[in-house]
Amino acid sequence: MSDTVRVRFAPSPTGSVHIGNIRAAVFNWLFARHAGGKFLLRIEDTDLVRSTKEAIDKVLDAMRWLGLDWDEDVVYQTHNAADHLAAVERLLSTGAAYKAVKESVDPATGERKSGEVVLFRMPKEGRIEYDDLVKGHMRKKAEDTQDFVIVRSDGSPVFHIANVVDDIKQGVTHIIRGDDHVENTFKHIQIFKALGAPVPKYAHLPMIVNAQGKPYSKRDGAAFVGEFKEQGYLPEALFNFLVLLGWAPGDDREVMSRQELVEAFSLDRCKASPARFDMKKLLWMNGEYIARQPHEVFKAELSERLAAAGLPPAPLGCSLDALVPPVQIRTKTLSDLPGNCEYFFKEDVSYDPAAVEKRLKKPGVKALLSSFADAFAAMPEFTAAATEAFVHGEAEKIGEDGKPVGMGTLVHPIRVAVSGRTEGPGLFEMLELLGRDRVVRRLRSASSLAS
Ligand code: GLU
């Protein structure tokens, strides 16, 4: 089957690309690349109001950003209008379609008007059946179907006829699309048959749902491809995450390279049950991808974001190259930068009020910070190993309650005092990178915030 597979992504441009739609593109792309077939792009631009140039560009941008390269020229559905109407003429001539006068309400004026439309004739008895590659055997009784409009009274062809005629024209062998099209599929199968064309194989992908099992929407968080880009997600991470919405490799792999995904992908491993959109998992996955970026790539990204935030290009106490590794492995989205490490670049620490409240406004912390300032100032050498050994020693001392002081009592206030935050690189590594004088200065000035 390898060189005969032809699949397509057929978005209707609306201005932003929902992840449910782009997930269909991802599955089609992987299916084609796995089979060595063709992945086609058809823009279903018949809604002239919504299909503006900007809306179409958004689709193309989202595809390029995610690395979904397509084969052959992009097909614009509006360019095929003559084919759609010619197919309708054939259906009329064989009796598979018929004309009727229908009343409709003008959505703009609310006026009732009647006009001639073309309807497709559905079978009156028996069943329509097909084997869905994801959902299994599907059937519908003829009596549960109705004839439907394929040409409106203004002469324009409806989605169903345009979609099927274009699939025939493009030689599409497999239709991989969202669950919401299952009802349409019963209609489309009949149109393929009436036009004497082979019926393609269908695979309907499960709905993407939120934690409550309801369709995932913009109320649940980022829902459009552009938002993920803006929020600092890497395209490779989003791609990997989208593949797992309805598919799994069958082993415990989750982070998989594009090559591994192409090799492993198959429709029979697609799940029919709803796919839960887990934002925490995406965040984790994005962090994994950021951690794996080449040093130079992450460094360039950080530099760009430092410049945009008006911060200096190099940290105060060390080189940018030394700072990159500990920051890189703790960055979850690119938009964490430079906020998660700005205290390396400017003398004035911005203290997170919640961190101050939690770690500094505690009895004894003021004295603790100034005693560490004194001790650090007097240490023969100020390395991560030396500060660690020293803090360990202090933690083992017996406190007023008769128990060892413990590391937590010491490291948390020190961290907040020198960085303003509760999270960051390992404390001792961070102290060394900041440098002794800066650490001592910050401990002393933060003691004024402490109780
Ligand atoms: N334009 C339709 C959509 O975006 C096409 C569905 C399809 O056949 O893939 O829902």
In tens, the pLDDT along 49-76 reads 999 999 999 999 999 999 999 999 999 9
- 259 token code pair: 């090559």
User: Does the domain at residues 353-446 carry the CATH identifier 1.10.10.10?
Assistant: no
Of 16-25, 105-114, 352-361, minimum mean pLDDT range: 105-114
- Tell me, yes or no, if the two domains 6-72+208-282 and 353-446 fold the same way: no
Nearest to 160 by CA among 140, 188, 202, 135: 188
Q: What is the mean pLDDT of the chain?
A: 96
What is the pLDDT at residue 274? 97
The secondary structure element, H or E, covering residue 407 is helix 407-419
Which residues, 6+ apart, have CB-to-CB distance to 224 below 8 Å? 16, 17, 18, 19, 218
How do the domains of the chain map onto residue ranges?
6-72+208-282, 77-205, 293-344, 353-446
**Position 413 pLDDT exceeds 80:** yes
Q: Is the bond preceding 325 in cis, omega lying within 30 degrees of 0?
A: no
Q: Give the pLDDT confidence of 155-179 residue by residue, as tens digits.
A: 999 999 999 999 999 999 999 999 9
Ligand 1 site, CB within 6 A: 10-12, 44, 163, 177, 181
pTM: 0.93
Quick check: 306 pLDDT over 70? yes
> Topology of domain 6-72+208-282, per CATH?
Rossmann fold (3.40.50)
At 3 the pLDDT is 55
For the chain, what percent of residues have pLDDT higher than 90?
95
pLDDT at 135 over 50: yes
CB atoms near residue 212 (< 10 Å): 7
For a mutational test of ligand 1's pocket, the pick from 16, 80, 181, 187, i.e. the residue with the most ligand atoms closer than 8 A to its C-beta, is 181
Specify the fold of 77-205. Rossmann fold (3.40.50)
Q: How confident is the model at residue 423 (pLDDT cuts 50, 70, 90)?
A: very high
Q: Which whole number is the average pLDDT over 188-206?
A: 98
State both tokens at 245. 């919405």
For residues 326 and 120, give the distance between their C-alpha atoms in angstroms, rounded to a whole number: 64
- CA distances (Å), 379 to each of 390, 391, 398, in order? 9, 12, 22
CA–CA dist 130, 137 (Å, integer): 6
- Residue 212 pLDDT more than 70? yes
Res 239 pLDDT > 80: yes
Going by pLDDT thresholds of 50, 70 and 90, the confidence category of residue 1 is very low
pLDDT of residue 2: 45
Distance 390 CA to ligand 1 centre (A): 64
* Average confidence (pLDDT) over 225-233: 97
pLDDT of the residue at 299 = 98
Nearest-CA residue for atom 4 of ligand 1: 11
